[in-house]
Amino acid sequence: MDATDGNTAETTGSRRYWLLRGVRSAFSIPGLILASAFVGFAGLARDAGLTLAQTVFMTGIVWALPAKVVLVGAVIAGNGLPAAAFAVALSSVRLAPMVVALTPEMRTPKTPAWVLYVLSHFVAVTSWVLAMEQFRLVPRPMRTTFYAGLGGTLVLGNMLVVAVVFIVAGRLPPPVSAALFFLTPMYFLTSLWGSARERAGQVAMVFGLVLGPVFHLLTPDFDLLAAGLTAGIAAYALHLIGKRRRGA
């Protein structure tokens, strides 16, 4: 890589160059995997009865894929707005620590606060992983520009993917649609396991996989919340017990 060291602000190059570097970073393996997950999401939303405009709007304005999948899950289940918002908020809490980790890396004393607030909208797993990986190659004053290019491309590109798939999906033969709908669970089944920060997260995932369908049968109106709280707190309790045993 020909990038300059993060400390030598004098040789930062032009803003346009770093914006385009950010745009180019979106076209990568993680970006491709994310696009395939959005292909699946478009099928899911279409199937839930959402319109093209609603689906594209949701893609741009919510952006985090788990939040959208939970929101569409609540739409399918016929949950009310407060229950849906609460479930989505719980699924999005994890964004706060991610932003906490990312912000100090791209802030300079001169960065206006509004820039950081606007850029935080682009934070989701893929852009976060790519940024944390590549920031060391980007001079510090250019990192917000780089991230704007990266995040903006991912958001706009996947809005386009969602729109195209939504239009095409209705004309696909049923087996192809079925394969399309299977992309979303397959993507999360693997990426969620990999993104778990500690063993407790993986235990929580296994509990959630089992309790989700159980609570769907028991309490269809609050299945996601009930499963998430029960499985999550049980996994955390095991984590605490394990910690005490190890003599912490």
Partner 1 sequence: MSFYAIDAWWWPYLFIIVGGWFATDVWRFVGVYFGGKLSEDSELLVMVRCIATALVAAVIANLVIFPTGALAATPLWMRLMAGFAGFAAYLAAGKRVIVGIIVGEAVLAAGMLAQYDL
Q: Which of residues 56-115 bind partner 1 (CB under 8 A)?
A: 57-58, 61-64, 66-71, 73-76, 78-82, 84-104, 107, 113
What is the rounded CA–CA span in Å between residue 196 and residue 185? Answer: 16
Smallest CA-to-CA distance from 91 within 78, 116, 74, 103 is with 74
* String marking each residue 29-58 x if it binds partner 1 according to CB under 8 A: x--xx--x------xx--xxxxx--x--xx
The phi-psi region of residue 4 (left if phi > 0; otherwise alpha if psi is between -120 and 50; otherwise beta) is: beta
242 binds partner 1 (CB under 8 A): no
Residues binding partner 1: what is the number (CB under 8 A)? 112
224 binds partner 1 (CB under 8 A): yes
Of 173-212, binders to partner 1 (CB under 8 A) are 174-175, 177-194, 196-198, 200-201, 203-212
Spell out the residues 6+ positions from residue 73 whose beta carbon is closer than 8 angstroms to its own.
Answer: 87, 224
In whole angstroms, how close is the CB of 237 to partner 1 at the nearest point? 9
Decide: 64 and 92 in contact? Cβ < 8 Å: yes
**Of the candidate residues 116, 160, 163, 168, the single one contacting partner 1 (CB under 8 A):** 116
What is the rounded CA–CA span in Å between residue 200 and residue 198? Answer: 5
**Of the candidate residues 20, 23, 163, 229, the single one contacting partner 1 (CB under 8 A):** 229
132 binds partner 1 (CB under 8 A): no
Q: Would you state the structure tokens that stand for residue 143, as one six-digit string? A: 């990192």
Closer CB to partner 1, residue 4 or residue 120? 120
Smallest CA-to-CA distance from 180 within 47, 30, 27, 26 is with 47
